[in-house]
Amino acid sequence: MRTAQDPWDKPRRNPWPIVMACAAIALAIILALTVSALTLNFIFDALLADKPPVTVATSAPEPTSTPPPTAPAETPELVRHRDDIVSDGRLLAYDLQEIMQDQCERYGVPYALALAIAEVETHFDPDATSPTSDYGLMQINQCNHEWLQGLGMDPLTHAGNIEAGVYIIGGYLDRYGDTERALMAYNCGPSGAQKLWDAGVYQTDYTRKVMTALEHWTSILED
C-alpha cells in the first residue's frame, strides 16, 4: 500500500561527479601555480646570473710615506781582552785572557779570582816553573798532571794549564763554600789545609796576597 509522498522526499542526485570535477579544477589550479612559480624562479636565477657582482665601495687608505728601514743598533762588542791586565810589567797575553774568561764561565769561577791566583803564583808568566815541580801560569803541581790529563786537560800547555787551575779552584769553592778555605786547599792541598784548620789557622800569607789581588782585579774589571 503506498503512502502519501513527503514533498521533501525527492530522489537524491549522485554527488561524485561534482566532487571529481571540483578536485580536477583544484589540481589544475595547483599545477598552474607550481609552473608559474618555477618559471618565475628560473627567470630570477637567470637575471642574477647575468647581473655583475656588487662591489662594496670602501674608502681608499690615505697614502702614507713609509720611512726607510732603520739599521738595527749595533751591539757593542764584548771586551774580551784588556791592556791593563798587567803584573810586574807583564801583560797577560790576549789569547790567554780569553781562555781564562771562557774557563771561568765554564766552571763558575769569578774571573777576578782566577787573575788574582795567576798574579800571585807567577805574575802572569805562562811558562813559569818552580823547584817543587809546579808548572805554568796557574802553577799546577806535577802530582796532579796524570789525573787532569785523564779529564782531557794538559797542564803543560798554556790553555790546559789555565783550565786545570780554574777547574781545581772551582771544585774547592764548591766543596768548602768559602774563598779563603778554597785558596788554602789550592796552595797546600786538601790534607795540608785540613791540618792548618785543625790547628786553628784559617788564613795564610798566600791567602792574604790572593785576597788583596782579588780586590784589586775586581775594581779593575768594573771600570
Average pLDDT over residues 2-17: 46
Of the two residues 201 and 76, the one the predictor is more confident about is 201
pLDDT band at residue 38 using 50, 70 and 90 as cut-offs: low
Q: d(Cα 185, Cα 168) in Å, to the nearest integer? A: 9
Q: What is the reported pTM?
A: 0.66
On whether the CB atoms of residues 170 and 190 are closer than 8 A, the answer is no
Phi, psi of 86 (to 5 degrees): -130, 140
How far is the C-alpha of 139 from the C-alpha of 125, rounded, in Å? 10
Taking only the tens place, the pLDDT of each residue in 160-201 is: 999 999 999 999 999 999 999 999 999 999 999 999 999 999
CA quadruple 156, 104, 100, 161: dihedral, nearest 10: -10
pLDDT value at residue 118: 99
Q: Which three cell numbers stand for residue 85?
A: 791586565
- CA 83 to chain centroid: 34
Quote the CA–CA distance of 218 and 115 in Å, as a whole number.
Answer: 9
Q: How many helices (H) and strands (E) does the chain have?
A: 7, 4
Grouping H, G, I as helix, E, B as strand and the rest as coil, residue 106 is helix
Lowest mean pLDDT among 3-7, 67-71, 182-186, 190-194: 3-7
Name which residue leads in pLDDT, 154 or 32. 154
In this predicted structure, the answer to whether residue 44 has a pLDDT above a threshold of 50 is no
d(CA 80, CA 201) in angstroms, rounded, equals: 38
Mean pLDDT of 116-141: 98
Q: Which residues contact 130 (CB under 8 A, 6 or more apart)?
A: 139
